Structure 1
C-alpha cells in the first residue's frame, strides 16, 4: 500500500469546491462514465456550505449527490459510524455523515490561529489487492493515531472507481475538546512508516516508499543507488512528451560513467571527453558541477550529481583533485592524433518515445509541428476582433445633425421655423441611429455565424491549414486520429471476449431494458451494459449486441433470453448472429422461446436464411408443448409496469 497527500493552496485557504469541480467535472465527459437518472437533476451548487473547507471535501470523499441515499450500517461502542452513501462505504466519528462538515467547520472556527484546518490524505492499495473494509478503516484509524489525531473528527470513504482501491481520509486538525491545532510537520514520513507497519500487520503487498521494513521489523530510510529525476525534468517529459536534458544525459552517459568509475579509470579529461561525444559539456556552476548542451550553452542545464552521483563536485575533487577545464578536442602539434568527434546531440524537440528508431523522420516531423504551433501562437497573438466602427459611425450621424443645425441657424431667420427645422434634424438623427443599431446587430450576427468574432481554436486552425495543403497540419491531424484509435482500442479492451455477437443494421436502436436478472448501466457513449453479479453479461453497442460466457447454465440462459429480447425489438433487417456455434444455437433457441411465449407485436427474426429456417423448425416442434406462466424477465424501461403480462419460461433448453 502507499499514501498520497494532495497539495493544498499556499494562501492557506484551500477551496475544496474547486477540488471537486476539477476531479469530477472535466471539460468533456468520459465516454465510459456511467449515466444514472440523477445526472439530469443534479445541481452541484446545492449541496455546498458557504464556508469553504470541510463541506466540499466531505461531499467529494463521500461521493454525495443532490439527493444522497445514506444508510447507517453499524455503530461501534465508541460512537464510530459506518454509513453506506450510495455505493461508497464511509466511516466517521461525527454525529452523522450529513452533519460532519458542519461539525468540523464549527470546531475549526474555535481556533482563530489555524487558517486551514482541513487535512486530506489518501491510502491506496495495488491493483490486484482487495482488502476488507475492516482492514481499511483500521488502517485509517492507525494512521490518524500516528499523526496525533486519534481523537480528532474525521470522515473516511472507500472508493472503488479506479484501478486501485483507495480510501480518502478528511480530518480536522483542530481538536474537538481542547481546540488546539495538530502540527503536521513531517506527516509524509509518518504516513510512509504507517504503510510499512500496516503491510506487515494485515499482510498487504509491500510497496515502494521512503521507508522500508527489514526482516526483524525495524524501519530504515530507503537509500537509492541513483537519484530520481528532478521535478522540472519529470514534468517536462510527462506533460509535454519531450525529452529533458537530464533524461538525455542519463540515457546516453550514465552507464558509461558507471563503467569508468567501477574500473577506477575516471578522470577530469575522461569525464569531459565522455560528455563531449554525446554533445554535452561540463562546467562549474553555483559551487557545483553542471552539465549543459553544447549547441545551447546558455540554455537549461542539469545537475551533474543528478545524472550520476559519482560525478558530483565533492566526489570528483576527492577522486581526481581540483576541477580542470575541458581539454582541447584535437592536438594542434600532432594532427595525426586525430580529433574527438561528437556522435550524437541532444534534440529537445524530440518526443520521449523517440529514442533511436526512425530518428530523422521523427525529428523533421517534430520540428514541423513546433513551427506549426508557433504559427498558431503568432496568429492568436496578432488576431484582432473585427472592428465594426460603431462609435465612429454614431459620431458621424451626430456630426451630420450638428452640421444641419448650423446651416439652419445661418439661413433661417424665423425663430419658429428654425425651431421646427431643429426638431426635424433631431428626428432624422434618431431615425439614422435606430437604423444603424439594427444594421450593427445584423453585422454582429453575421460575424457570429461565420465564426469571425473570435479566433479559431487550435484544432479548427489546423484543419484550415490542412485544407490549404500544409503537410505539418496533416501530420497533426493524423496524430489526433491515432490517439482516438488508441483510446478506442483501450475501451474495447474493457469488455471480455464474447462467445456470440448479434449484428444489426445502422440506426437500428432500441431503448434500455429493465431486467430482473441483470443490472442495467448506461455509459456516456450510448453503450448499455447489462451486468450479472457485477460482471458484464450482455452489452448493447447499438450496431451489435455481445453475449459473454456465463459461469453456469442458468446465467447463460438469462443472458441469451435478454439478447433475444433486444433483437426482437429491432427491425430484423440485416440481423446476423455470429460466434461459437453452440453459443449461436443457444441465442436462436432463446429467440424461438421468446416468439412462443410473447405476443406483443415484436418477433425475433434474423437475416440468415439457414438460421431463420432453424428458428421456424424449432418453433414448430415446440408449439404443442404444455408450459406454465412465470413473471417476465426483461421489459423496456419506458413501459408502464402496470401493463405486465405473464410470460412462459419452462420450455426445455438445449
Structure 2
C-alpha cells in the first residue's frame, strides 16, 4: 500500500465540501464507492449524514478565515484483490492509524474507499482545523510518517509489502554506483549521481505529491534532472549526458512502480515561453564542481573554467585535458605549486570520499563557492 498526500493546487480554492462529495460519489469513470464513513462530527457517521456533517465542518473552518489551505487530502492505494482481505472495520482502523500518526485523531474527516477495476484505494479528507481548539495542524515530514504507518499496516493485516519512497530494504540509498565512482576518480569532479543523492530527500518529498507524469517531470526538472526510458527501465539524466538508474534514487522509482502509479510513461511536454511569462527556474542545477576544497581552490577553479570557455574546436591533447579537472591540475602542477598541493589533498581525501555520502570530509566543496 502506498499513502500519498494530494497537495492543494496553486490558484485553486480549498473546497472541502466539494472534496467530501467527491469521495462519497466516486465520480471517476468506472469507479464505485466501496465503503464510507465520517469521524468526529455530531451530525453522524454514515453517508446519509454527509450533508449535515459538511455544514458542521465548514462552520469550524470558517473560524480560520486567514488560512488558505485547511484540508489534508490523503490517498492510500492498495494492491489488486486486497479489498477482499479487509473488512470495513479493518479499513477504519487503518485510517485511524494514519490520523493518529499525522496528529489528526480528534479532527473531523470524511473517508471512503473506491474500486475501479483493479485500482482499490482509500480517500481521507482531514479538516486541518481542530474542532475545539481551532488549532491548524500541518504535519512535518509527513512523507516519512506515511511510509512508516503503511509498513506497519501491511504487516498487521498481512498485505503485500509495497516499499515507499523512504524505504531502502537494508541497502544504503546514498551509495554511489561503480560508474559514478569511476567518474569521480577520473575527473575529481562531483558526479551527477552525487548531485541527485545530495538532494534525495527533498526530491522524494516533491515526487510524493506528484499526481501524473508531467508533475513528476516538473519536480525532477527543478534539480536539472531528466527522466528517460532506456531499455526495459528508466534512467535519470543530466544535461551533459551522465545517467543513473531511476531505481537508484529509490526502489519505488522503478519503471513498473511509476507506471502503476501514473499509467503508461509520458515524456516531458516542453512549454514555450510566452511574453510576460517565465518558465520555472531550476532550484538546484547540476554543474561540474571540484570534490575537494582548499582555501585557494576557487582561484584555480575559475582559471580552469576560463580556459574551458576558449577550448579549440579541434580535439587536441590540451583541449581534452581542459575538459577534466584532474588533468588540468596535473598540467598546472608543472609551474604552479598550488596545483601540486591540491593534487596531494585530492588523493588523500578521495580515499574516504568516493563511495560514501554519509560523512563527507571537511574539505568537500560547497556549491556556493563555485559557478
TM-score by length of 2: 0.47
Q: Which has the higher contact order (CA 8 A, sep 6+)?
A: 2
TM-score by length of 1: 0.29
- Structure having the higher Rg: 1
